[in-house]
Amino acid sequence: MKAQSIARRIACASLALAVTGTAAACSASKSSTGASGADTDSTAAAGGGGGGTFTIWDPYPQFDGGSAWSRLLTKCGSDAGVTVKRTGFDTTDLTTKALLAAQQGNPPDVLIVDNPVVSTLADAGVLTDTGATKLDTSAISPNLLAAGQLGGRTYGVPIGANTLALYYNKAVLSAAGVDVASVKDWPSLTAALAKVTGAGKKGITFSAIGTEEGSFQFLPWFWGSGANLKQLDSAQGVSAVSLWADWLKKGYAPNSVINNTQTTSWQEFATGQYAFAENGTWQLANAKKAGFDYGIIPIPAASGGTAAAPTGGEFVTIPVQDKTDRYATSQKLVACLTSADNALATDTTLSYVAATKDVQAKQVAANPDLKPWVDAVAAAKGRTSDDLGTKYPKISQPLWTAVQAALSGSASPQAALKTAQSAAAAATK
């Protein structure tokens, strides 16, 4: 790869990523480790595939050399006849390092990266497409694969996915006389919140912070209204912002949501005072420790049915190399990491829903609690889907800014989204 030929594209990609940071879904659990670049050498005997050392970078610094994840990398390297050198970075640091390495002509052989970043790296010329590397994506659910597509090409394989749904406190709903089965759309959800707060408890908590986390949590309501990210100020979009703003005005949601991260929102729900919390698959372990009976339902769309929630999770990608003969071995490593048997163990470790229906069925058989999450993932979509690609970060920032303005009362939902649409249109010309 000629580093100088993509330098300008990489510089533009770095600027775009600086706007939104990285994905909202899993970053809290990963960055909380405080790790930033844990190296693990996984040594295997040289053999087929040309031998030598192959580098893998991932956003899982919480897993050390003795972890199941590291052992899997060792096995995949051994099966391919190479030595694997693995480095785990915090999510934000990984993207920056990947861009810099590409610019210097020294990228890793395999890069596992958060799905919204894939299109930015692909547009910068950093990643190969699956047509060039012969990665098989035929079994992957199309809605999950879409997060790694740009201009009709696919740039990797999803290792799994997580998304958002509504956790609910069974005791709070029961005391308020609310049957969760009645919650099927926005009016019935709002009616349930009214009953709960009327009974002296708290309604719903979520994250509306002015970062990508805020956009991530708002998107199910935005998409559930029928709105499209290419037209932020549509009547449907206004209805979604109005829903949240009205909940705050009526006391159904706390003012703290304006500054809540997904972690602090969860902490509110864990007090046992709230009927509902919008949060993700990654909170399942914490839910079991909360000390009260809980359930999970998909986020309802405005008029019923399941709203599309954004997908979180990573793609396993193969960066562009000067020595293209390395791709064959890299393909073996990726195929191993994403194979059905290995994906089951890996996705269980990461609290992910698998990217294929066969493995999803195995997950539910082993853990029935995952059934509502499999349903939610089936309805989910990537933030960069609809061929938004690198435009998404330039739309997301105006969107979260509009939500903040409406919830704080500094602008009406309609005025806030009109401003957001103007900003997004100017940024994506």
| Res. 14 pLDDT band, cuts 50 70 90 | low
Would you tell me how many other CB atoms lie within 10 Å of the CB of residue 226? Answer: 16
Share of the chain above pLDDT 70, in %: 88
Q: Are 175 and 273 in contact (CB under 8 A)?
A: no
Extract the tokens encoding 350.
């990461």
Residue 69, pLDDT > 60, answer: yes
**CB burial class (10 A; 0-12, 13-18, 19+) of residue 258?**
middle
Q: Are 259 and 207 in contact (CB under 8 A)?
A: no
Give the three-class secondary structure for 413: helix
Q: Please state, in angstroms and as integers, the Cα–Cα distance from residue 326 to each residue in 6, 43, 226, 329, 376, following that order.
A: 20, 18, 45, 6, 38
Please state, in angstroms and rounded to a whole number, the distance separating the CA atoms of residues 238 and 367.
39
Alpha carbon distance 128, 101 (integer Å): 15
- CA atoms of 177 and 171, how far apart (whole Å): 10
Q: Hey, what are 370's tokens?
A: 């995952």
Six-digit token string for 339 = 């194979």
Domain regions of the chain by residue span: 3-162+311-379, 164-309+389-427
Average pLDDT over residues 316-345: 94
Phi, psi of 186 (to 5 degrees): -65, -45
Report CA 266 to chain centroid distance, whole Å: 17
Residues 6 or more apart whose CB falls under 8 angstroms from that of 324 comprise none
> What CATH class has 164-309+389-427?
alpha beta
Residue 76: enclosing H or E segment and its boundaries? helix 68-80
pLDDT band at 8 (very low <50, low <70, confident <90, very high): low
The reported pLDDT for the residue numbered 348 is 83
Sequence-separated contacts (24+) of 363-372 with Cβ below 8 Å: 369/284, 369/296, 372/165, 372/296, 372/297, 372/298
Helices (H), 127-211: 130-133, 142-145, 170-175, 186-198
pLDDT of residue 309: 96
Residue 427 pLDDT exceeds 70 = yes
pLDDT category of residue 143 using cuts at 50, 70 and 90? very high
What average pLDDT does range 298-312 have in this prediction?
96
**CB of 159 within 8 A of CB of 343?**
yes
Q: Is the pLDDT of residue 337 over 50?
A: yes
Q: How far apart are the first and last CA of the chain?
A: 29
Question: Could you give the CA distance from residue 309 to residue 300 in angstroms, rounded to a whole number?
Answer: 10
Residue identified by tokens 């409406």 is 406
Q: Each residue of 354-409: pLDDT tens digit?
A: 999 999 999 999 999 899 999 999 999 999 988 899 999 999 999 999 999 999 99
CATH number of 3-162+311-379: 3.40.190.10
**3-class DSSP state for residue 183?**
coil
pTM for this one?
A: 0.84
Measured CA to CA, the distance from residue 58 to residue 93 in angstroms comes to 10
Same fold, 3-162+311-379 and 164-309+389-427: yes
- Collapsing DSSP to helix, strand or coil, 97 comes out as helix
In eight-state DSSP terms, residue 320 is: -
Q: Percentage of the chain with pLDDT > 90? A: 78
Question: What does the pLDDT look like over 22-45, one tens digit per residue?
Answer: 444 543 333 333 334 566 665 443
- Phi/psi at 172 (5° precision): -65, -45
Q: What mean pLDDT is predicted for residues 126-151?
A: 93
Look at the alpha carbons of 85, 90, 92, 96 in this order and tell me if their dihedral is positive or negative: negative
Q: Work out the average pLDDT over 215-224.
A: 97
Mean pLDDT of the region 153-180: 96
Sign of the Cα torsion 392, 398, 399, 404 reads positive
AA identity, residue 362: K
What is the helix, strand, coil percentage profile of the chain, to 5?
50, 15, 35
